[in-house]
Amino acid sequence: MIRLIQTKMAKKTTHWKTKDVNGMRMMICQNSKPTMSKYSEFAPEDGECDEWSEVGTDTTASLCWRCTARSVNNIRLK
Ligand SMILES: [Zn+2]
């Protein structure tokens, strides 16, 4: 159920900044704009995230390993 909801939300996601590094497609963590992020509850405590992650060509949003780790640890799980 949770997985279904997340997939739906991902399709509505805004386009995030990307850049090419040595042929790899990098994307800024969506918590660089916590107000736009679907995972803002996992954003850094002190503000915006500026971590980039390697993504595939069909990726529309990325959550960096730091924020992913926070979600895995369920630090702010409701
Ligand atoms: Zn992040």
Tokens for 73, please give them: 């640890």
- Ligand 1 mean position, distance from CA 28 (Å): 8
The pLDDT value recorded for residue 45 is 87
Q: What is the mean pLDDT of each run of 10 residues along the chain (78 residues)?
A: 56 77 96 94 92 94 94 64
R_g of the chain computed on alpha carbons: 12
Residues lining ligand 1 (ion), CB within 5 A? 29, 31, 49, 51, 64, 66-67
SS3 content of the chain, % helix, strand, coil (to 5): 30, 15, 50
10 by DSSP, 3-state: which? helix
* Closest listed residue to residue 76, CA positions, set 46, 43, 32: 43
Identify whether the C-beta of residue 66 lies closer than 8 Å to the C-beta of residue 51: yes
* Domain range summary for the chain, segments of one domain joined by +: 18-71
The pLDDT value recorded for residue 64 is 96
The pLDDT value recorded for residue 30 is 95
